[in-house]
Structure 1
Amino acid sequence: MESKEHIIDLPKRVYIGNDLISSIREYLISLNLSDPFLVVTGPIVRMSITSKLFDSLSNFKYEVIEVKSADIEEVNHVEEFAKQIKANVIIGVGGGSVIDVAKYVAFRIDKEFISIPTAPSHDGITSPFAAIKGMGKPISVKAKGPLSIIADIQILSTAPRRLINAGVGDTIGKFIAVRDWKLASKITGEYYGDYTASLALLSAKHALSCTKLLNKDLRAGVRILTEALISSGVAMGMAGSTRPASGSEHLFAHAIEMLYPGKGLHGELVAIGTILMAYVHGINWRKIKKAMKRVGLPTNAKEVGIPEEGVIKALTIAHSIRPERYTILGDRGLSWSSAEKIARETGVIS
């Protein structure tokens, strides 16, 4: 049955290029945004970035607040401060945690959100969803999609290589997410958007091509990766859910995050989950694994400090993370013996 309406919120403008931070004043004016602004940033955002940003904001009223993690306590603190200063716009400047807090606060107080990522670590820079800890299971919640994204490739290219690689891992995972989505449509009758799915798949293909480019031309590779992350986020905005970008590979990653908090970056865990679920789906997991190794992504449990039995357990409970979301794992999940076989045959455990 068709729903009454399907609302698609997309960014009004995406600015992508080099040395864009110095031009933020002009961008904000062109977007007809009024101050005061609240700049949400993190403890590891480099002074060189923030000093340029603050120079560009010098003619506006603005306040700055620093967050250390994407949890509900930080969200409440930032929200209270935003209301106190009567912020009209929330500007997130930083990595995934900063962006998630900023857009979730913007959603809660119904203000515009501007995304200025400093690391291409996952597609949260564009998507209208946020991963906030302390709200139950580690799944995404509805947030404010960005009115505008300002992606400075010069800045993104200087992010730690591990974060860049994590962005590759997160994006390649869309190969699995789209297959799971299509399977769910056949089994449960769930809505499936062909165009949206194609957009997510295109992002995954670009991320795969990045694995051949990043070691030769970092900046060119980061630009392609950033565009892939942006289009993946747009796909989620069009679908109205994380379905095009999050399937059984993410359920595995979330299971690991529940069992072993702090072990591995999100994109690294998604990368390992992608290898495992590619095997289950019967697609070329060896090609995916080879590409991940090429950029230095972890492809086994040992590389992220997870015990082998932890991988097996995560595979057996992954289906229960989001029981309403049907994937290749089915309703009952994997048995311990099946999970162990998959993990050993793919080399995720030895």
Structure 2
Amino acid sequence: MKPQLLDWKLANRIKGEEFSSSASAIAEYAAKELIEKAHLIMPGVEESVWLVVKQILASGTSMAIAASSRPASGSEHLIAHNLENLCQGKAIHGEQCAIGSVISMFLHGGDWRSMVSTYSKFGLSVRARDYGIRDDIMIEALRTAHRIRKERYTILGEVDLSREAAQNALSITGIL
């Protein structure tokens, strides 16, 4: 399951936030389709573009059903937006979300290693240094990402992670 959907389910359990199983299923389908067909996605191939566009449309549909960006945006986006604030211009949004997805999945206790493997099929690194992001900035981005949207409950919780906990999680996942 995508980390943003795990965040949404967590918010439903902890905070009573409304959860749409239909929107969640569509968002999960879109992600699984891309992962399963990753080997078919190649630069400059029209069929590849269509495969990706169909899943973007499915993701948009899931957000329309939920009347929220929840199906496509959770802790990984909070981390990405915090990185954008702390080190402007170092990596593009999608790269930052990939990094955020890996650490979010790790925090959820999910299969973050398969995410790293899938990203590598596209030549996408999740090492912060590969984007010019210093270790101290990456640690701070993870520690304080929950502040970006205080109303959006995620696995990041409501208080700053300790520096040691953030560094440990980022090191284990290979982000640092």
Q: TM-score range by the shorter chain?
A: over 0.9
Q: Distance in 2 between matches of 1:222 and 1:334?
A: 39
Q: Distance in 1 between matches of 2:106 and 2:72?
A: 18
Q: Which runs of 4+ in 1 moved over 6 A?
A: none
Secondary structure in 1 matching 2:2: helix
Q: Distance in 2 between matches of 1:210 and 1:257?
A: 30
Supply the RMSD in Å over aligned alpha carbons. Answer: 1.5
Structure with more strand by fraction: 1
Query: CA separation of 1:284/1:228 partners in 2, compared to 1, >3 Å: closer, same or farther?
Result: same
Instruction: Provide TM-score, normalisation by structure 1.
Output: 0.49
1:315 correspondence with 2:147: no
Q: Distance in 1 between matches of 2:146 and 2:107?
A: 13
Deviations 1:264-303 (A, max 9, x none): 1111110111111111111111111011011111211111
Shift of 1:248: 0.3
Instruction: Provide TM-score, normalisation by structure 2.
Output: 0.95
2:95 counterpart letter in structure 1: E
1:347 correspondence with 2:151: no
Larger RCO (CA under 8 A, 6+ residues apart)? 2
Question: Number of matched residues?
Answer: 176
Structure with more helix by fraction: 2
Q: Distance in 1 between matches of 2:36 and 2:65?
A: 24
Q: Distance in 2 between matches of 1:218 and 1:231?
A: 21
Deviations 1:10-33 (A, max 9, x none): xxxxxxxxxxxxxxxxxxxxxxxx
Q: Distance in 1 between matches of 2:143 and 2:50?
A: 37
Unaligned runs of 5+ residues in structure 1 are 1-173
In the other structure, the counterpart of 1:332 is: 159
Q: Distance in 2 between matches of 1:216 and 1:247?
A: 28
What fraction of aligned residue pairs are identical, expressed as a percent? 38
Deviations 1:15-73 (A, max 9, x none): xxxxxxxxxxxxxxxxxxxxxxxxxxxxxxxxxxxxxxxxxxxxxxxxxxxxxxxxxxx
Q: Distance in 2 between matches of 1:215 and 1:177?
A: 26
Shift of 1:321: 0.5
In the other structure, the counterpart of 2:93 is: 266
Unaligned runs of 5+ residues in structure 2 are none
2:123 counterpart letter in structure 1: G
